[in-house]
C-alpha cells in the first residue's frame, strides 16, 4: 500500500534477512561508504551478502 501511494520508508536494520524480506531495494553501507546497492532480489543472491551478512 505504501508503494502504491509513493511513500518511501528508510529502514535501518541489522537483521539483513529480515530487511531484505521487507524491502524492494537496499543499500549496504560499510565503513560509512555505500558498498553495494540493488534490488532486494539482487542483494539476497549476492555471494558477498550471503557470506558476510547472512552467514551462509
Residue 56 pLDDT greater than 80, yes or no: no
Looking at residue 17, what is its pLDDT? Answer: 84
In a domain, 22, yes or no: yes
In a domain, 8, yes or no: yes
Q: How many domains does the chain have?
A: 1
Side-chain-side CA neighbours of residue 29 (13 Å)? 6
Sign of the four-CA dihedral 2, 6, 7, 9: positive
SS3 labels along the chain: CCCCCCCCCCCCCCCHHHHHHHCCEEEEEECCEEEEEEEHHHHHHCHHHHHHCCCC
Looking at residue 30, what is its pLDDT? Answer: 86
In a domain, 26, yes or no: yes
Looking at residue 38, what is its pLDDT? Answer: 95
Looking at residue 39, what is its pLDDT? Answer: 95
Q: What is the pLDDT of residues 13-49, one digit of tens each?
A: 888 889 989 899 999 888 999 989 999 999 988 888 8
In a domain, 55, yes or no: no
In a domain, 56, yes or no: no
Higher pLDDT residue, 3 or 6? Answer: 6
Amino acid at each position: 500500500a505504501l508503494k502504491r501511494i509513493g511513500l518511501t520508508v528508510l529502514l535501518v536494520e541489522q537483521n539483513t534477512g529480515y530487511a531484505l524480506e521487507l524491502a524492494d531495494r537496499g543499500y549496504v553501507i560499510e565503513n560509512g561508504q555505500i558498498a553495494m546497492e540493488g534490488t532486494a532480489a539482487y542483494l539476497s543472491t549476492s555471494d558477498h551478502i550471503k557470506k558476510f551478512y547472512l552467514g551462509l
